Amino acid sequence: MSQYLINGLVLSSIYIVVALGLTLVYSILDVPNFAHGELVMLGAYIGVFLIGLMGVTNYFLVLIFAVVALAGLSVLLWKFIFRPLRSAPPVTMFIAALGLVYILQSAVQLIWGKEWLSLRSPFAGSVLLGAATITHTRIFIFSLGCLLMILVSLFIYRTWLGKGIRAVSQSESGAALAGINANRMITFTFAVSGALAGCAGILLGHVTFVFPLMGFSPLLKAFAMIIIGGMGSIPGAIIGGFFIGIIETLSIAFFSAEYADIFAFGALVITLMIRPRGLMGKLE
């Protein structure tokens, strides 16, 4: 049981990192980036490519490369795909994101094939905690996840850039009056979101297999998390994240893996029914 809990906690922390990236973009654009899961997937594949195929040995170099590459890609997607659609009805952004999902998934399949790959982490060994075995990898993942949660919160609430992002997400015209360039803020948000996705991808690759459709499930879980926690809210994403993580872990422990999805999505639907705003609101 405690083994489930530990693994569930670690997985949740990765999902929360995904959810943070998703909620940042939502708060500033009012439209969720449905292709976010594919960015995570690309992060994992970069890891596989660099470590597995190219034999790069410096792990942190790989992490940084994935983070930077995906931050850059995310900004490109904003500039060329989402930004031109801002004046159109919001649904078109959703459809464009869907198009991106198709493109990214199939591109990856064409280049790397459908096989399930694995992404080895540089951490070997494990610790015993009572009845549970925790691998060093998982400790690293959980720590990095928590570190990112803290960093993102600090970034959004303490830094000048973060304040700018919050201003624009609250009111674009108000922010403009204060001299804040909305475009630049949105670009930064996409960059941070992409960076988080890239990192989450590599971490995810250590605990599950890497395959082209791997981004879909984390995306939906991240949606469930931020809808429950409140779209656009950082603490909401974190709380919602642990909530979904616990539901999933419990359902796997008491029922079976098949039920995990039902309960997670069921929680999403129920939240949308009772309180679409979630537990917290937009970025305050």
Partner 1 sequence: MSRRLRTIAYLGIILILYLIPEFVRSDYIINLLVFFLIRSLVAISFNLLYGYTGLLSIAQGGFYGIGAYGYTLLVMNAGWPTWPAWLAGGLIAAVISLPVSGITFKLKGHYFAICTLALSLIITAILTIWRGLTSGALGIAGVPPMGGISLPWVGEISFRNTFSFYPLVLTVFLLILLVIYLLTNSKVGRTFQAIRENEELSLSVGINPNHHKAVCFFISAMISGLAGGLFASYIGFVHPMTSDVFIGLFALVCTVVGGTGTILGPVVGMLLLGTLPEILRIDPMIRNLLFGVCLIVVVRVAPKGIMGILGQLRQRSREVLR
6 exposed, middle or buried (CB, 10 Å; 0-12, 13-18, 19+)? buried
Nearer to partner 1, 90 or 174 (CB): 90
Nearer to partner 1, 67 or 77 (CB): 77
Q: From the CB of 104, what's the least distance to partner 1, in Å? A: 8
**How far apart (Å, rounded) are the C-alpha atoms in residues 208 and 257?**
14
Q: From the CB of 210, what's the least distance to partner 1, in Å? A: 17
Nearer to partner 1, 220 or 252 (CB): 220
Q: Cβ atoms within 10 A of the Cβ of 103, count? A: 13
Closest CA relative to residue 152, chosen from 25, 7, 246: 25
Nearer to partner 1, 106 or 133 (CB): 106
Nearer to partner 1, 142 or 223 (CB): 223
Q: Are 108 and 42 in contact (CB under 8 A)?
A: yes
Q: From the CB of 189, what's the least distance to partner 1, in Å? A: 17
Q: From the CB of 247, what's the least distance to partner 1, in Å? A: 14
Q: From the CB of 64, what's the least distance to partner 1, in Å? A: 29
Interface residue list for partner 1 (CB under 8 A)? 31-32, 34, 81, 84-85, 88-92, 94-96, 98-107, 109-110, 220, 223-224, 227, 258-259, 261-262, 265-266, 268-269, 272-273, 276
Nearer to partner 1, 26 or 49 (CB): 26
Q: From the CB of 99, what's the least distance to partner 1, in Å? A: 3
